[in-house]
């Protein structure tokens, strides 16, 4: 379904090339003044270097009175001024490689060939707005993510990369021990971001090659530890150290060079796909990673 969270619950809507995208946020406490400039700044980060440059002007439909929350659901929408469904006309009967065209078709029996419907980076705009509101409700928590990526790449190809995230200000004792471990919920939040393909806490995959004596984070007398191989979570619960994780993103699967598409009638067709392409989407991922981390934590901390 299109809802994230339990206590702080975000329901998103909107197709990439439909009239609007947006969300309803349920569970936001009353009496909080929302910093609209912070939301605009986050949306600007999300547009960094994007081929589709939209204004992202937010229309608030409910939940605010003079910019202050009143405890009722916060609804907003952002119009899709830059929708160009015609760019996609050539794809009406083709499945692009690496895209969700085929899997959506197999699930729904139809597809919105115009820009991928919900399976589009456009959908993350609602996550960023909601996540930035969540951050404002937890001012003691600081979430900082940054991206690495291969810097050399031909014009008609694309690159992936990784995003490191470090969260401070989460007290010890946050999380649950069994299935909804804090690390498990962070993993799900991150893997729900388009193009995410890997997740690791702290030492991550490298820990699989360590010995226990090397891996164990040694205590300081104040309850902090000298290293942070576990990434700040033990047994599914925060230990008060920074929460650290890394997310791998595969390269953008839309590119300017010719690609082999599968036609619905079963033959393969090499086409150059129109529309706006982007070399390196991972540049825009940090603010999305931070937003999803905030949405995840809000369910524990509010």
Between strands 3-4 and 9-13, the pairing is: antiparallel
> What whole-number distance in Å separates Cα of residue 301 and Cα of residue 141?
10
Does residue 51 belong to the site contacting its own copies (CB under 8 A)? no
Return the number of the residue (186 or 298) whose C-beta is nearest its own copies: 186
Return the number of the residue (41 or 153) whose C-beta is nearest its own copies: 153
Does residue 44 belong to the site contacting its own copies (CB under 8 A)? no
Does residue 272 belong to the site contacting its own copies (CB under 8 A)? no
CB-based contact 71:29 (threshold 8 Å): yes
Strand partners, 78: 21, 58
Cβ partners under 8 Å of residue 26, min gap 6? 8, 9, 10, 11, 73
Min dist CB 76 to its own copies, Å, is 10
Q: What are the CA-CA distances from residue 232 to residues 7, 166, 220, 236, 254 (Å)?
A: 23, 10, 14, 10, 36
Among 160, 169, 274, 275, binds its own copies (CB under 8 A): 160
> What angle is formed at CA 17 by the lines to CA 190 and CA 5, rounded to 5 degrees?
30
Min dist CB 231 to its own copies, Å, is 7
> Which residues within the stretch 231-260 sit at the binding site for its own copies (CB under 8 A)?
231, 233-240, 248-253, 255, 257, 259-260
Does residue 192 belong to the site contacting its own copies (CB under 8 A)? yes
> Tokens standing for 20?
């609007």
Contact window for its own copies (CB under 8 A) among 40-48, 50-58, 67-75, 134-142: 67-75
Does residue 73 belong to the site contacting its own copies (CB under 8 A)? yes
> Which residues within the stretch 100-139 sit at the binding site for its own copies (CB under 8 A)?
100, 102-104, 106-110, 112, 116-119, 123
């Amino acid at each position: 379904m299109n809802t994230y969270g339990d206590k702080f619950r975000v329901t998103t809507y909107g197709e990439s090339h439909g009239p609007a995208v947006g969300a309803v946020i349920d569970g936001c406490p009353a009496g909080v003044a929302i910093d609209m400039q912070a939301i605009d700044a986050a949306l600007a980060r999300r547009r960094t270097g994007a081929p589709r440059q939209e204004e992202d002007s937010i229309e608030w439909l409910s939940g605010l009175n003079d910019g202050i929350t009143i405890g009722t659901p916060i609804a907003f929408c952002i119009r899709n001024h830059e929708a160009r469904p015609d760019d996609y006309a050539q794809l009406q009967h083709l499945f692009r490689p690496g895209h969700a065209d085929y899997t959506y078709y197999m699930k729904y029996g139809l597809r919105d060939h115009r820009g991928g419907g919900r399976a589009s980076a456009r959908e993350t705009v609602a996550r960023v707005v909601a996540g930035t509101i969540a951050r404002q409700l937890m001012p003691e928590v600081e979430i900082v993510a940054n991206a690495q990526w291969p810097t050399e790449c031909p014009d008609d190809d694309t690159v992936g990369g990784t995003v490191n995230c470090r969260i401070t200000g989460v007290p010890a004792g946050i999380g649950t021990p069994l299935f909804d471990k804090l690390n498990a919920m962070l993993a799900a939040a991150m893997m729900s971001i388009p193009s995410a393909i890997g997740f690791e806490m702290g030492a991550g995959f490298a820990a699989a090659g360590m010995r226990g004596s090397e891996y164990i984070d040694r205590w300081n007398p104040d309850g902090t530890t000298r290293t942070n191989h576990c990434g700040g979570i033990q047994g599914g619960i925060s230990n008060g150290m920074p929460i650290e994780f890394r997310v791998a993103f595969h390269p953008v699967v839309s590119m300017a060079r010719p690609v082999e598409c599968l036609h619905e009638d079963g033959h393969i067709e090499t086409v150059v796909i129109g529309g706006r392409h982007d070399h390196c989407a991972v540049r825009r991922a940090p603010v999305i990673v931070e937003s999803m981390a905030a949405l995840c934590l809000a369910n524990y901390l509010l």
